[in-house]
A and B are shown apart, each in its own frame.
Chain A
Amino acid sequence: MATQHSRTAARAMMAPAVVLLLGWMLVPLIMTLYFSFKKYLPLRGGDLGWVGFDNYVRFVSSSSFWPSVQTTLLIVGAVLVITIALGVLLALLLDQPMFGQGIVRILVIAPFFVMPTVSALIWKNMFMDANYGLFAYLWEFFGAEPVAWMSQASIQSIIMIVSWQWLPFATLILLTAIQSLDSEQLEASEMDGATTLKRFWHIVLPHLSRAITVVLLIQTIFLLSIFAEIFVTTGGAFGSKTLTYLIFQRVLESQNVGLGSAGGVYAIILANIVAIFLMRIVGKNLDK
């Protein structure tokens, strides 16, 4: 039983951790808010005073703003669809008894351990290079014109790279979910006359809905802020500029901290809209 005394003591002991975490979160947030209302150009005069909502207006009225939001949503959406669809298929496949199962599973997970910068560079140079990339050879082998991935299909390239990185995560979570499916349920549905496809649709997929929800939420959080994959491949060119990348450009390339901070606040708002939206769909799923 917690007495008044022990509760006070508990609070006092937790306080340092809470304060630290709060500070960790609040300081950058407050600084972003602070700078977003200032004209702050580090190499061109530094702090030039308060400007009200000027930065906010300028950030949205820039011609790159809406395209960058669209690109962000497109990349996040496409990667989610691809990783979840392929993840379910791969998980089903890996769940089958086969020779060398342990090794195959480790290999499937491996891409997740490769740093984003490294994997994007490997994709860019080894696979997607229009002259000596493996894809170029493949295209030539079939008599087709090699694709200059980075310029002709920049968004698709980034989607491909990021999907490759996140597929293992989705597969892993979905595989554990599939393994927890009661085999008697499958047998019962088999006796009830359900074909393989119907079994998947009526039994396996509903069973996976929670796991899919979790994958959806976690991936969205991380995908909204992908940066390295764009930085080392297209550098934001050819319509592959996401909101995160736009902010980076405003702050570092244009050296306009105030404008970038305003963009940061928009990014927070976008993330929250997406989160609320997802929670709505997902909340229903998790209630069951």
Chain B
Amino acid sequence: MGKIVLNQVTKSFGDTQVIPPLDLTIEDGEFTVFVGPSGCGKSTLLRLIAGLEDVSSGSIEIAGREATQLKPAQRELAMVFQSYALYPHMSVRKNIAFPLKMAKMDKAEIDRRVESAADILNLTDYLERRPGQLSGGQRQRVAIGRAIVREPSAFLFDEPLSNLDAALRVGMRLEISELHKRLSTTMIYVTHDQVEAMTMATKIVVLRAGVIEQVGSPLELYNTPRNRFVAGFIGSPKMNFIEGALAAEHDAHCIGIRPEHIDVSATEGSIQGTINVSEHLGSDTFFHVNCEALNTTLTVRVDGEVGFNRGDTVFLTPKSDLIHRFDEQGLRL
């Protein structure tokens, strides 16, 4: 029902091509996350799907229908904007009811749907307030409410959580995931936060400069990144990359080791270094270890409290079966 297919889609603003020819299939019911650095075209891609921008060439198919020329309203998609885009002069109830009113639905049905959306999103007590009288998280929920009442074939989210504080973000992340489970409608979610991507997605699309670098499940991307860009982008803290002699030992131009795949010891190991900075997060500790022999700094992640401090000399041993190897072009070997 909510399958979305992009076929050789491109987008140019004037002379600059922001999206080179791109193919992508999003299956019905999938929670797809677009991630990538700022300016890589995530929002543009989402807006192309929504119909808020016209494609320069190529075609878009939504729910089995050719949708390239359809107006946004006819595509039966709902979008949640980064700024929420609530209508400030309308009460929460009117905001949520707006798309239904535009669809000329009858009054009783509108009321029923608004009540049930408010119930799902814990907004029942706020229905008569205006958006200006709500907190950021509540506004976000109203925006989601306005999207779900229409029962669209897919939801589009453009960085919906970026205006919220860290604690609220975690809460809303869970709520959106639960909503997806409950509605099992296709969702496309744009973020530049790879933690959001990893925790929510069933499928992640990594973009760089409008090009899809890799598509896959979160763990596929984590375990077998197709190239150095994806390897560096997915995972926190970032993967360590080592070039030169050590890489050559593994028959590669460059090797990548995730911080959590390195053992630390005070006495023995393959790489010697000094702890430059240590970050204690309670459950984890990150060491930034200066390795003179490799002429680089490696990030290492260890459990909780370990007896090392800044300035200590330590020995690092990468887990050999978890080393990623890349060639000159940065492609996985």
Contact = CB atoms under 8 A, between A and B. Distances in A.
A193 B81 contact: no
A253 interface: no
B72 A288 contact: no
Interface string A85-119: 00000000000000000000000000000000000
Contacts of A190: 52, 71-73
A188 B89 contact: no
Interface string B73-98: 10001110111011111100000001
Nearest to B156: A191
Interface string A152-185: 0000000000000000000000000000001011
Contact of B98 (A184, A192, A209): A192
Contacts of A283: none
A189 B81 contact: no
A189 B52 contact: no
Contact of B81 (A184, A198, A206, A209): A184
Nearest to A207: B89
A193 B50 contact: no
A207 B89 CA distance: 8
Contacts of B89: 206-207, 209, 288
Given A184-B83, A188-B79, A206-B89, A193 B99 contact: yes
Contact of A192 (B51, B83, B88, B99): B99
Given A202-B87, A206-B89, A188 B81 contact: yes
A193 B83 contact: no
Contact of B73 (A193, A202, A207, A288): A193
Interface in A224-274: none
The residue in A187, A191, A193, A288 that gathers the most chain B C-beta atoms within 10 A of its C-beta is A191
Question: Which secondary structure dominates chain B's binding surface?
Answer: loop
Contacts of A203: 87
Interface residues of B, number: 24
Given A184-B81, A188-B81, A190-B73, A198 B87 contact: no
A193 B103 contact: yes
B310 to A, nearest CB: 46
Contacts of B79: 187-188, 191
B73 A187 contact: no
Contacts of B71: 190
B99 to A, nearest CB: 4
Interface in B95-122: 98-99, 102-103
A122 interface: no
Contacts of B98: 189, 192, 194, 202
Contact of A193 (B88, B90, B102): B102
Contacts of A198: 102
Contacts of A202: 87, 98
Interface string B188-224: 0000000000000000000000000000000000000
A192 B73 contact: yes
A192 B52 contact: no
Contact of A182 (B50, B83, B90, B146): B83
Interface string A201-223: 01100110100000000000000
Contacts of B87: 185, 188-189, 202-203, 206
Give the interface size bracket for A toward B.
10 to 19
A152 B102 CA distance: 48
B262 to A, nearest CB: 44
Contacts of B103: 193
B248 to A, nearest CB: 52
Contacts of B102: 189, 192-194, 198
A191 B73 contact: yes
A2 B289 CA distance: 57
B99 A187 contact: no
Contacts of A194: 73, 98, 102
A184 B73 CA distance: 15
Contacts of B50: 191
Contacts of B73: 190-194
B81 to A, nearest CB: 5
Contacts of A288: 89
Contacts of B146: 188, 192
B106 to A, nearest CB: 16
Contacts of A191: 50-52, 72-73, 77-79, 99
Nearest to B143: A188
A184 B99 contact: no
A187 B71 CA distance: 11
A12 B150 CA distance: 65
B160 to A, nearest CB: 12
Contacts of B78: 191
Nearest to B71: A190
A225 B73 CA distance: 50
A209 B90 CA distance: 13
Interface in A124-151: none
A150 to B, nearest CB: 44
A185 B85 contact: yes
The residue in A192, A203, A207, A288 that gathers the most chain B C-beta atoms within 10 A of its C-beta is A192
Q: Which 6 pairs show the lowest CB-CB distances between chains A and B? A: A192-B99, A193-B73, A188-B85, A184-B85, A193-B102, A206-B89
21 contacts: A184-B81, A185-B86, A187-B81, A187-B85, A188-B79, A188-B146, A189-B87, A189-B102, A190-B52, A190-B72, A190-B73, A191-B52, A191-B79, A192-B73, A192-B98, A192-B99, A192-B146, A193-B102, A194-B73, A198-B102, A203-B87
Given A184-B85, A202-B87, 4 more contacts: A188-B87, A191-B78, A192-B102, A193-B102
